[in-house]
Amino acid sequence: MSSLNVQNATVQIGEKILLDDVSISVAPGEVVTVLGPNGAGKSTLMKVISGELKPTSGKVIMNNKSDWDLQQQALMLGVLPQSSSLSFPFTTEEVVILGRIPCSSDRTENLAVVEAALSEVDGLHLKDHQYTTLSGGERQRVHMARVLAQIWDEPEFGKRYLLLDEPTSALDPAHQQLTLKMARKQAEKGVGVLVILHDLNLSARYSDRLVILKEGGIAAQGTPYEVLTAETIKSVFNVDVTISEHPAHACPLVINN
Amino acid sequence: MNRSRKSALLLIVLAVALPAVIVLSIGTGPVSISPLDIVSIFLDRLGITASAVSDQTRLIVESIRLPRTLMGVMIGSSLAVAGASMQGLFRNPLADPSIIGVSSGAALGAGIAIVLGGVLFSGVSNTLMLDYSVSLLAFAGGVLTTWIVYKMGTTNNGTSVATMLLAGVAISALAGAGMGILNYVADDATLRNLTFWQMGSIGGANWNSVLLCFTLLGPVIFMLCRYGQVLNAMLLGESEARHLGIDVQRTKLKLILVTAMAVGVSVSVAGIIGFVGLVVPHLIRLMVGPDHRTLLPASAMLGGILLLAADMIARTAVAPAELPIGIVTALMGAPFFMSLLWQQRKRIA
């Protein structure tokens, strides 16, 4: 069965253990959210999955294989980083079409995908704007569109996965909802989504499963109901909360005391 | 007009302008030669007899102006395309071989070969082989300095302009000291050679140096022009480029080697000709945006054109004497660089 599997990944740099024997899996069609305080190893986990960082021990298996060719991997795995350093005056369209680099489609098709991807993130009106003049949140959405364009079509050799590292950090509440709805929509199309979030309620509402990291190890994982308990949140985040039922959706609601 | 239309148009205009400027450059000098005569000489070489041209004119064209012009085109192209590639690699529009110290490093390598060449390559008597050995050491100096500046200036968030420029200052100072020592130990004849060459000039062009340029710089320009899409991805950041399926480590290594080759060979035959690599890509970006698929070939052509223009000024401004071309490009390029720094001063601080 196709899935994205992290098996017993440990990352040690010098004396410091950044990731301690972490195993998680993401199946096509589900949204898995990674939560955890700052420095818990969330971004390290992302880097291990994307292949940017080689784990000291353990491995990452995507669609039953761990040594994909970089270009094939790019067609199956889209990665949205926390922030980007792009400082050249590309237009939005030119930035998004960079996502099509690993794809072998022609320019007409690429432009069509770019338009579709931009409308997914409510960014079509930014198409001809210069990227360097956009606000932080707009830039984040443009990169989201770029990553969507990258894994737009399912390749014949495997299922697709999407890694989103704090995709809502620079967004207003409306666009936070929009982005996570978009992540759900991708999951419905058969993409496995792994997302790092800080907002417990957003994660409760949009995820199938949650993974909580603490000091490099897994503190809890399971459905939102299983994971978001007052005890777990107290022990991991050191905040006192009350867990209630969301009045409009079938998910827990975390209320700060 | 959208950017892709503009890009196509720009490439066509440059492709037409380059041969025109080449003919103009061959015709310019103490003896001016009409474009018709120049074309006749070319046709004659191809076995087509057009109008008669005097032997003297033919001699001027074939042994002085033509090699000088061809060398100028190759050097201008390589410096411009190397500048554009470095800016992509450093993710920083202010990178230029002369500013970040790569030219100085290459110059030190070449200087060592020029002054100590007699000792180092004592078995080599062929002048062409000696020219190649000078280029080789210049290339080594260029690789070393590019690598040092890259290591010092680049983090995951791109390059810091400040660190990059400071690294350039430090390396230039070090290479300058090395050149000073070489000046000190050189004999009179070598010293004159060294001094004139350091200021940058394509006046010493001969068919040997043209051959050197075509065999070493030709492939380099061609190779760099094919890195358009890869450099576009690199502008996003190294990890982003990797996520797009690009082998970043290998690409970086190749780019550093190839750009150092472009700069090293240029420096070894023509000395330090600064700012071409900065000004040319900037002009292209202003016209058609930063897409490297257009930027690289357009820079290659405009670089050749601008260097020939600068050389025509160098040849005619103080005729019958001649200015070193490095002085002309510095006079034009340095104020341009300062204006860019002025625009970016908030970002640097």
Asked whether the beta carbons of residue A86 and residue B242 sit closer than 8 angstroms, the reply is no
CA distance A42 to chain B (A): 16
In SS3 terms, chain B reads as CCHHHHHHHHHHHHHHHHHHHHHHHHHCCCCCCCHHHHHHHHHHHCCCCCCCCCHHHHHHHHHHHHHHHHHHHHHHHHHHHHHHHHHHHCCCCCCCCCCCCHHHHHHHHHHHHHHHHHHHCCCCCCHHHHHHHHHHHHHHHHHHHHHHHHHHHEECCEECHHHHHHHHHHHHHHHHHHHHHHHHHCCHHHHHHHHHHHCCCCCCCCHHHHHHHHHHHHHHHHHHHCCHHHHHHHHCCHHHHHHCCCCHHHHHHHHHHHHHHHHHHHHHHHCCCCCHHHHHHHHHHHHHCCCHHHHHHHHHHHHHHHHHHHHHHHHHCCCCCCCCHHHHHHHHHHHHHHHHHHHHHHHHC
Q: What is the chain B residue with the closest CA to A77?
A: B243
Which residues on adjacent β-strands are paired with residue A62?
A: A4, A65
Taking the alpha carbons at both ends of chain A, their separation in whole angstroms is 43
Tell me which range, B49-53, B124-128, B194-198, B213-217, is most confidently predicted by mean pLDDT: B213-217
* Per-residue pLDDT reduced to its tens digit, B309-343: 999 999 888 878 888 888 899 898 889 888 887 87
Mean pLDDT within A7-26: 93
* Cβ-Cβ contacts under 8 Å, B235 against chain A: 86, 88, 90
pLDDT of B214 over the 70 cut: yes
The arithmetic mean of pLDDT across residues A68-97, rounded, is 92
The Cβ-side half-sphere exposure at B9, using a 13 Å CA radius, reads 8
Q: Is the pLDDT of residue B89 over 90?
A: no
Alpha helices in A128-229 (DSSP H): 136-150, 173-188, 200-206, 224-227
- Note the pLDDT tens digit of each residue in A201-251: 999 999 999 999 999 999 999 999 999 999 999 999 999 999 999 999 999
A43 touches chain B (CB under 8 A): no
Q: What is the DSSP letter of A220?
A: E
A90 touches chain B (CB under 8 A): yes
Q: pLDDT at position A222, please?
A: 95
Hey, which of A225-229, B166-170, B342-346 has the most confident mean pLDDT? Answer: A225-229
ipTM: 0.91
Report pLDDT for B131: 74
pLDDT at B349: 46
What domain range is A200 assigned to? 4-256
Q: Which residues of B115-139 are buried (b: 16+ CB within 10 A; e: fewer)?
A: bebeeebeeeeeeeebbbbbbbbbb
CA distances from B177 to B20, B105, B129, B326 (A): 42, 11, 28, 20
Report whether the peptide linkage leading into residue A247 is cis, meaning its omega lies within 30 degrees of zero: no
More reliable by pLDDT, B62 or B50? B62
Residue tagged 């240029």 (tokens) = B266
B231 min Cα distance to partner chain A (Å): 11
Contact A221/A58 with Cβ under 8 angstroms? no
Q: Give how far A164 is from chain B: nearest CA, Å.
A: 13
Residues of A in contact with B290 (CB under 8 A): 88-90
**pLDDT at residue A150 greater than cutoff 70:** yes
Does the pLDDT of residue B91 top 90, yes or no?
no
pLDDT tens, residue by residue, B260-304: 889 988 988 888 888 899 999 999 998 999 999 999 999 999 999
Structural domain total, chain A: 1
- Residue A75: give its domain's CATH number: 3.40.50.300
Q: Which domains does chain B have, with CATH numbers?
A: 3-348 (1.10.3470.10)
Specify the pLDDT at position B75.
Answer: 95
pTM of the predicted protein model: 0.89
B88, two tokens: 């992509």
Mutating which of A101, A103, A132 best tests the B interface, going by the most B Cβ atoms within 10 A? Answer: A101
**Is it the case that residue B122 has pLDDT exceeding 70?**
no
Token pair for residue A211? 């993974």
pLDDT of residue B99: 79
Q: For chain B, what is the mean pLDDT?
A: 86
Using CB atoms, pick whichever of A81, A89, A150 lies closest to residue B290.
A89
* pLDDT, position B155: 66
A211: β partners: A34, A221
User: How far is it, in rounded angstroms, from Cα B205 to Cα A4?
Assistant: 61
**Bigger pLDDT: B267 vs B153:** B267
